Structure 1
């Protein structure tokens, strides 16, 4: 593994060709995203530019020939967020900038997949009364119509959010690799310390609530705005379980819950992130210890 990572960090044409070979295969696009992000984090945009361009070429070909933009959007998202992380050394900035890359992805997806998304929405509409049950029956006709208008935008937002999750995972893997080579344990410390400021967390939560009411198009941003809160919630759980007996089993249970019970686990992590922005649960023990050792304070 280390030999492969050092090979990528050379940034030569051979490295670019390796990344291009990975990006040409849909199932390996994550490897190209992580490898290119590692190169950018370590060497900067100017030095890594040619290799990154080579990595992008197969995905751009997929976009042009097969009208399939998702692989290119994952790479572009990872590389853009890697540049943000290199520039600001802040995961909060990375998560906030993921809103911009996510909105750009949503626009590209809307242009590329307008007909499939419309067909998918048409298939889902008849299931709304069954999915919502009595809640749907209690809605007025105007509210039911409004919900029908929001559905295609929410679908588009969910798809764009999934791409941003893939981009962020690629970047996190790159940061883990960078720490493995040059700063062992550094990525874990960074991620465990991730906490959204109160103003940021509650601004995102307000957008979650208000955007669908302001415009149907604004519903695209609802899943995207939840993404920074999701990752902040994950960072909180990782930080609290780090180094504890059974911590790894707890994390396995967390991600299994996300896969099997996402409709419950996802909102719970969002609520945890909001609460942590207020109370700083990871710093609570430190503050208690400080107060105990300084009783006059």
Structure 2
């Protein structure tokens, strides 16, 4: 896809047209967001505004039709690109994305039109067992509509955040391929949460519990997951292992919960152990 990125960076009209066209096509919003992020990373927010607006108009139309994911992804990716350009630290960028995505979940950005009520009514009609379970929860004092809203918003918010991180990584790899070959590989392979960032994530989760904002706790593990993925990439790169190991890793990560927990744990331990630093020194 590097030729596409090269064509996009030929000028603002190219980037604007490509971002708008990709945003119009269903399920190509990620490409539009990546193009906006590439221009933002390379030129800054002000020069990238025409591209961002061109992408926001079609995604805004999708939002008016009940799909908030394209517009939310565009805004989140653009925000992360601004932070990464200014701070040059993936860890801080991920924490900012976590906070913004948690706010989106909490205010109900990802809920379908009409909220969770129509969905619960559909579930009750389609499955008597689910209806009895919901009635039992309601009898115990559980607000089923609030629980369903949190579940729908939380799952959607997680997917949007992870997809936005992937879009930013794609834009960063384009930028490196065009202007700094090999730069993204070394940058991502060294991504690691420091003790300060880990304390910030812990504070976010605690504040979420105190304020009864469960979305903060739901999202607080995303930077750890990305850090764990970067650790695996870094270790495979340092050992010079075949790329098929990465294919197998992602296959397990996308299909098994235990693998996700292992990666989270590795990302947490790496904050203190620095596996890549130890391996590099031993070599």
Report the TM-score range of the alignment, normalised by the length of the smaller protein. Answer: 0.7 to 0.9
Matches of 1:172 and 1:111 in 2, distance apart? 23
Judging changes above 3 Å, is the alpha-carbon distance between structure 1 residues 90 and 149 closer, same or farther for their aligned structure 2 residues? Answer: same
1:69–1:109 CA contact under 8 A, matched in 2: no
Matches of 2:202 and 2:240 in 1, distance apart? 34
SS in 2 for 1:242: helix
Between Structure 1 and Structure 2, the one with more helix by share is 1
Give the one of 186, 191, 201 matched to 1:189: 186
2:90–2:191 CA contact under 8 A, matched in 1: yes
TM-score (norm 1): 0.81
**Is structure 2 residue 275 aligned with structure 1 residue 278?**
no
SS in 2 for 1:26: coil
Matches of 2:208 and 2:83 in 1, distance apart? 29
SS in 1 for 2:28: helix
Q: Over aligned residue pairs, what C-alpha RMSD do you find?
A: 3.0
Question: Which shifted more, 179-188 or 218-227?
Answer: 218-227
Aligned length: 274
Corresponding residue number in structure 2 for 1:265 = 259
2:98–2:219 CA contact under 8 A, matched in 1: yes
Matches of 1:147 and 1:235 in 2, distance apart? 38
Deviation at 1:48, TM superposition (A): 1.6
Corresponding residue number in structure 2 for 1:50 = 50
1:236–1:273 CA contact under 8 A, matched in 2: yes
Long gaps (5+) in structure 1:
131-140, 290-297
Q: Deviations over 1:31-64 (max 9, x none)?
A: 1111111111111111121122111110011112
Q: Deviations over 1:202-232 (max 9, x none)?
A: 5425655x4675455x222223111000000
Corresponding residue number in structure 2 for 1:38 = 38
1:68–1:112 CA contact under 8 A, matched in 2: no
Question: Which shifted more, 4-13 or 264-273?
Answer: 4-13
TM-score (norm 2): 0.84
Judging changes above 3 Å, is the alpha-carbon distance between structure 1 residues 155 and 111 closer, same or farther for their aligned structure 2 residues? Answer: closer
1:19–1:32 CA contact under 8 A, matched in 2: yes
Judging changes above 3 Å, is the alpha-carbon distance between structure 1 residues 266 and 151 closer, same or farther for their aligned structure 2 residues? Answer: farther
Deviation at 1:247, TM superposition (A): 3.8
Corresponding residue number in structure 2 for 1:294 = none
Deviation at 1:268, TM superposition (A): 1.4
Matches of 1:159 and 1:53 in 2, distance apart? 24
2:108–2:153 CA contact under 8 A, matched in 1: yes
Give the one of 242, 245, 250 matched to 2:245: 250
SS in 2 for 1:10: coil
Corresponding residue number in structure 2 for 1:61 = 61
Judging changes above 3 Å, is the alpha-carbon distance between structure 1 residues 269 and 36 closer, same or farther for their aligned structure 2 residues? Answer: same
Give the one of 214, 227, 230 matched to 2:225: 230
Question: Which shifted more, 198-207 or 42-51?
Answer: 198-207
Matches of 1:145 and 1:63 in 2, distance apart? 31
Deviation at 1:254, TM superposition (A): 1.4
